Copies of this chain bind each other. A is one copy, B any other.
């Protein structure tokens, strides 16, 4: 066994021309010719060519390369040579030895013709072999770190609120129930109540990234039963405008960072241009949005209170035509289609101080100022037929000086989906969970 030299990443090989190094990665391609053996080895930074001249009998390396299988994990030690005729960076590795760290079984269970559901079954291979999928998780890391940086700068504290709840508080219907010793517990549909509890606890501004769970039998391209939520809650706000202002600036910071770090790679792998939006984002009331959409032929019966996906797309098209903007805040949702804890403007109790944010016609955020006055909150809960007994701990937060506050919840997968132009949230998630999918 040849003692391996120091590992060098493929992207750094150029700095080591003439040196003997080790490359660790996967066997991407094998071209075994009569005199020469060519192996393309891939690590997470790129691909390089290993060029071995067959030595005949007694050439251990020749035999190893003859027998190795695609996607095996190997460590190849060799000399880095400058060779302008080689496609991959004009470099090749002339090997002195190979260690097979983990031999892959053959054949592989998926290939480039495999359908999407079967690819999800073998998600680890699907992600490993596609540079675009690798890029997606790098972009995800950048997105959430940029949001975090912004949030910290704005005075947020990162909280981790419980996912296990004693009661199915927010709404009983779409909640997963589990056995909890001798009783039941429920999985949080969002950190909503707990981030408000953090506000009542004197945390000035709350930031949280964590899983949220929805027991919703939805099979669309944009729903999942578990997804990563980005949540913000801000105390002492003057109005819901403060929340929208926070979000649009957070997104500008995030998209600027993504464009700088990954703009070129996203164009190459996803064919999408990352655009940094202008401030402020357009705002339109729900009533105004419906008026515009009806003029375009939407909802001819005139019965819809909420925007459906068709309405969201139509509105986005309108805003793009009028302003050239990819984003639009839809504000002042009717109280009838918003939860009881959304604040209602004093002079228009049929509306709420709330918003959705659409990006290229897809809802990526719901936000609102919350009702922080105990009596009004009780009234609004009663009006919605929400039982207050199971909400006792939540409601108690408002009895002892909870300040005015508001916030937003954003789906990280949806942000990636829109940003990268993906067809489905399944592609924007490492391991998707839906009503029919709990594996792998």
Contact = CB atoms under 8 A, between A and B. Distances in A.
A393 B163 contact: no
A30 interface: no
Contacts of A152: 141, 145
B102 A228 contact: no
Given A145-B148, A160-B211, A439-B166, A400 B105 contact: yes
B72 A104 contact: no
A232 interface: no
A398 B105 CA distance: 9
Contacts of A14: none
A172 B126 CA distance: 29
Interface in A196-216: 197-198, 200-204, 209-211, 213, 215
A41 to B, nearest CB: 12
B158 A145 contact: yes
Interface stretch (A52-60, A418-426, A429-437): A429-437
Which one of A158, A177, A217 has the greatest number of beta carbons of chain B within 10 Å?
Answer: A158
Contacts of A373: 102
B201 A400 contact: no
Which one of A44, A138, A202, A209 has the greatest number of beta carbons of chain B within 10 Å?
Answer: A202
A35 to B, nearest CB: 27
A257 to B, nearest CB: 13
Number of chain A interface residues as a range: 35 or more
Which one of A138, A180, A400 has the greatest number of beta carbons of chain B within 10 Å?
Answer: A400
A398 B412 CA distance: 29
A144 B158 contact: yes
Contacts of A43: 204
Contacts of A439: 166, 393
A340 B24 CA distance: 26
A298 interface: no
B204 A72 contact: no
Contacts of A71: 400-401
Contacts of A128: 200-202
Interface string A129-159: 1000110011011001100100010000111
Interface string A157-195: 111111111100000000011111101010100000010
Contacts of A124: 197-198, 200-201, 396-397
A202 B122 CA distance: 13
A265 interface: no
Nearest to A151: B141
Given A7-B236, A393-B439, A401-B102, A157 B178 contact: no
Contact of A438 (B72, B138, B185): B185
A440 interface: yes
Interface in A96-131: 101-105, 108-109, 122-129
Contact of A127 (B101, B165, B201, B430): B201
B178 A178 contact: yes
Which one of A27, A125, A194, A394 has the greatest number of beta carbons of chain B within 10 Å?
Answer: A125
A299 B63 CA distance: 55
A410 interface: no
Given A200-B124, A430-B161, A402 B44 contact: no
A404 interface: yes
Nearest to A108: B400
Contacts of A177: 178-179
Given A164-B225, A433-B162, A102 B178 contact: no
Interface of A: 7, 24, 26-27, 43-44, 71-73, 75, 101-105, 108-109, 122-129, 133-134, 137-138, 140-141, 144-145, 148, 152, 157-166, 176-181, 183, 185, 187, 194, 197-198, 200-204, 209-211, 213, 215, 217, 225-226, 228, 236, 372-374, 393-394, 396-404, 412, 430-431, 433, 435, 438-440
